[in-house]
Structure formats: C-alpha cells, structure tokens
Amino acid sequence: MSANDEPSIFTRIVAREVPADVVFENDRIIAFRDIAPKAPLHLLVVPKTEAYRNVTELAAGDPALLAELVATAQQLADEHSDGEFRLVFNTGPSAGQTVFHVHAHLLGGQLSEGTLGH
C-alpha cells in the first residue's frame, strides 16, 4: 500500500473501482489510456502490484516484471502506433511523479505541450 495506506488510483483501476479505457491486461500488467494525453498515443503501462513505488524499486525487486512491462510497451506501440515510442518513468515528486505506484508512460507520435505528471 501507499504511505497513507490508501490504495493508489492504479490499484483502484485494477480492482475496477475507477473506470479506465483499458487496452491491455494480463495477470501482472494493465495498460490504459491516459486521461490527459500528451501525444497521439499516450498509455499508462502499470504492474498490478502496488509493491513498488518507482522504477528503481521495481528493477531491484522484480527485474522480470520490469522486462515484461517493457515488452508489453513494445507490443502496444506495435499495435497502436508505428512501433516507435518513448517510455517515460517519473521517479520522485520533483520529476513529476504524483502516483507512487510504479508506471510507465508509453508515448507515440509528436508530444504535446505540458509535462508528464502522475
């Protein structure tokens, strides 16, 4: 759980407590459209576990899950874009992270103005 013992918005999406435009799901990962897209393709690729707050914790704690997340991002870029993409992990509040449940922003096409917060 997060520091305040409340489930993250992403955990609530996994539990279907909060609606999302889900484009991919398996037993370990879920991907859905960002509600404030910064590119023509802007998906959030999220491990279902809330055990890792950021990508460095995920890399240290479950490198296979990180590899699966990256492979899923490639698959989604192949399906929804031209296969070329940016994969952004915000780590820490000053880097724009507002949801402390590790996730990647999958961006395809030209970026819009603004930051990639979450």
Active site residues: 103
Identify whether the C-beta of residue 54 lies closer than 8 Å to the C-beta of residue 89. yes
- d(C-alpha 46, C-alpha 49), whole Å: 8
Residue 43: φ, ψ to 5°: -115, 150
Half-sphere exposure of 58 (CA within 13 A, CB side): 26
Residue 15: how many other CB atoms lie within 10 Å: 10
- d(C-alpha 115, C-alpha 95), whole Å: 10
Structure tokens at 88: 């952004």
